[in-house]
Every structure is written in C-alpha cells, then in structure tokens.
Amino acid sequence: MDTLTDAMIETLDLRSTIAEPAPRTRAVSPFEFLPGWLTYGPVVVQWIALGLRYGDLSLPTAANPRITTGGLCGESKTAILNLVRGDARDWLAPYTALVTGRDDFNRAWSLMAQAGLALPVVIKPDIGCNGTGVRLVQDNDALAATLAAFPRGVTLVLQRLIPWEGEAGLFYMRMPGQAAGRITSLTLKHAPCVTGDGVSTLQALICADPRHGRLQHLYLARLRGRLDSVPAVAERVRLVFAGNHCKGSIFRNGADHVTPALTARMDAIARAIPDFHFGRIDVRYRSLAGLRQGEDFSIIEINGVGSEATHIWDPQTSLRDVYAAQFHHYRAAFEIGREMRRRGAKPCGIGPMWRDWRNQGRLMRSYPLND
C-alpha cells in the first residue's frame, strides 16, 4: 500500500513498531554497537529508494516545516523549544542560550539570572547530536572551564538540571489532519554505574562488569583522573552523564509503559508546536508511575526527523526488529512529508540539507568531550 493513511496510524498495534521487552538475557547484543555503515546502510538505501519514488530525497524535511531541515540535521535545539506555545511551555526544563565570545562567565550568569537558573546546570551545544559536548556543571570553576572549552562563536544551551534519575525518549508521530498522534516508541534510559566494594579500583570495577567491561572504551577516557581511586563499599559511581546510547548509557524498551494518559499528554504538547508531526521528545521523570499518568516530567529536548526510535538499542532487541522499526519510522517520515508538501509545505532541498549536515559535523568535531 502506497500511503500511510490516518486509519493505518490510528489502528497501529504498538507491538508492530516496539518489540515487546524480552527476558534480560544479554548485557550487550551482538549488533548493539555495529559499525555505522552496517547499522544505517539499509536505512540509507531505503531513504534513497523512497526519495526517488516520491521525487525528492529531502521530502521528510517537510514533515516539520517550521524546523530547519525538519530536524534532520543542523537544527537549533533552542529554536525548536522556542516554538512551543502556551501552557505546554510549563513542561519544558528552563533554559537560556549563550554565544561564546568575551566575558562568557559573567554573561552566562546574567543570562541564567534572567531565565531563573542557578547552578547546577547542563551545558550542551545548540547544534549537535548524540550527546556530543554535553557537560554537567556543578560550580563556578566548572562553569568557567566548560565555557572556555568550546570554540568562540558557538551557541550553547544552559538548562536547569532536572534532578530526577529517570530519563526517557518518546517517539511521536501524527499524520497532518489526524485527530490524535501516537507514541510509537518509548525508551527508558539508565545511567551506567558501578558499585564500590572498598577494595577494587574504579577501573577494575568497570572492567569486571559484564556490560561495562565490554564498553570500557566509552568510559575510561572520561574517567582518566579517577580510575585508580577505590570507591567505598556500596558507593555508586556514575560512569557517564550524557543520556545517549553511543556514549554508553543503557537503553531499555519501555513499550509497556505507554498509556492513554501519557499519549494524550504528549499529543497536547506536540500540537503546541506549530506543524510538528514527527520526532522524539526526551524527558526526565520523577517516577514511572507518574510518567504513565502523563505527570511529573520535564522536557529536556525535542528532536525532529533526524531522531530515532531509540528502543532499538535495547540489547534484547533482535536485528530484524531494529531494521523493522527503522524502516517503519522513516517510511512514515516520507509519507508525512508528502502530505505536508501536498498542503503547501516545501522540503528544504538536497543542497541546504547537505550544507547543514556538513556544518553540524564540523561543529561537533570542535566540541570538548562530554561528561
């Protein structure tokens, strides 16, 4: 069937796009950290095939026409958050933006005061992805050092640290004109931690862990100055702050936590963003019970068509389900883009898309190591 119709989305069984959580049998799956060319190669082939079929390789960028490239690449995080209207803004973690230059420390404090922010804050690049350059800033010394670590002329987001441990990514999709949208993926993100025994060094604890030991290359460089320390008995040490799979965070499929109340809340928030139809909303939440009720969470980021349904990085997900989810979501991006084009929205075109992708890559290479 050529078109992903309203009825098709309305009646989708979540299990067709979110694999049911399986028993926890694998710490790391054989394909969880495949080379990028192998993971995304089939997706690129699908993208090209759909682009040729519908006459525009940039068609998905029309799915969210108010966002640069529809959120595929090179988009500003604060520009997307600034689009949120009305009462929906109450769900956003407070933030401000700073362009690095002279006297960054004092300007940062002035902007933070205007936004009602105080330390600790999270600092992240306004253009970027995969947690690159994300820093947790606890005190003035760290604030000064973090601002100095970025190149000049780069826009940074300074955002209130939401103290709740729970973090989740909720993928949202709605055909233009459809009565209500859907949550087609929910991922629970967990920080990788080790627990001290009063004897072993931090490095030994990492290497002995069934999962962390296989991913130690993601952690050791960030913890270089602490690797010889000996955590006390029962002391939990968080290995990475950025909640991104490729930086070592642990992702779990949260399909069974999608409820009508949560879906209604996300739909209301998404509808408060003009012409937003496809993307992932990342939140921090107080408890799963509250999240299921659509309460007690704060939005830390909103992503467009370049985002993923990140439940695919649960190590229990089969390779077949990984590709099925990817193909399903990106096909939907083309279908939504085609409908928006029919309604008058214009895809950005291959040239601008390529330039924004190149610019994003250039910026990311200049950012410091994330926490």
CA quadruple 279, 283, 289, 290: dihedral sign: negative
Taking alpha carbons only, the member of 173, 177, 215 closest to residue 194 is 215
Taking alpha carbons only, the member of 180, 167, 182 closest to residue 15 is 182
Distance between CA 292 and CA 254 in Å, rounded?
11
- Three-state SS string over the chain comes to CCCCCHHHHHCCCHHHCCCCCCCCCCCCCCCCCCCHHHHHHHHHHHHHHHHHHHCCCCHHHHHCCCCHHHHCCCCCHHHHHHHCCHHHHHHECCEEEEECCCCHHHHHHHHHHHCCCCCCEEEEECCCCCCCCCEEECCHHHHHHHHHHCCCCCEEEEEECCCCCEEEEEEEECCCCCCCCEEEEEEEEECCEEECCCCCCHHHHHHHCCCHHHHHHHHCCCCHHHCCCCCCCCCEEECCCCCCHHHCCEEEECHHHCCHHHHHHHHHHHHCCCCCCEEEEEEEECCHHHHHCCCCEEEEEEECCCCCCHHHHCCCCCHHHHHHHHHHHHHHHHHHHHHHHHCCCCCCCHHHHHHHHHHHHHHHHHCCCCC
- The pLDDT of residue 124 is 97
> Per-residue pLDDT for the chain (371 aa), expressed as one digit of tens each?
333 433 333 333 333 344 334 445 677 777 777 788 888 899 999 999 999 999 999 999 999 999 999 999 999 999 999 999 999 999 999 999 999 999 999 999 999 999 999 999 999 999 999 889 999 999 999 999 999 999 999 999 999 999 999 999 999 999 999 989 999 999 999 989 999 999 999 999 999 999 899 888 889 988 988 999 999 999 999 998 877 877 788 999 999 999 999 999 999 999 999 999 999 999 999 999 999 999 999 999 999 999 999 999 999 999 899 999 999 999 999 999 999 999 999 999 999 999 999 999 999 999 998 88
- The pLDDT of residue 218 is 87
Give residue for tokens 């780069």: 154
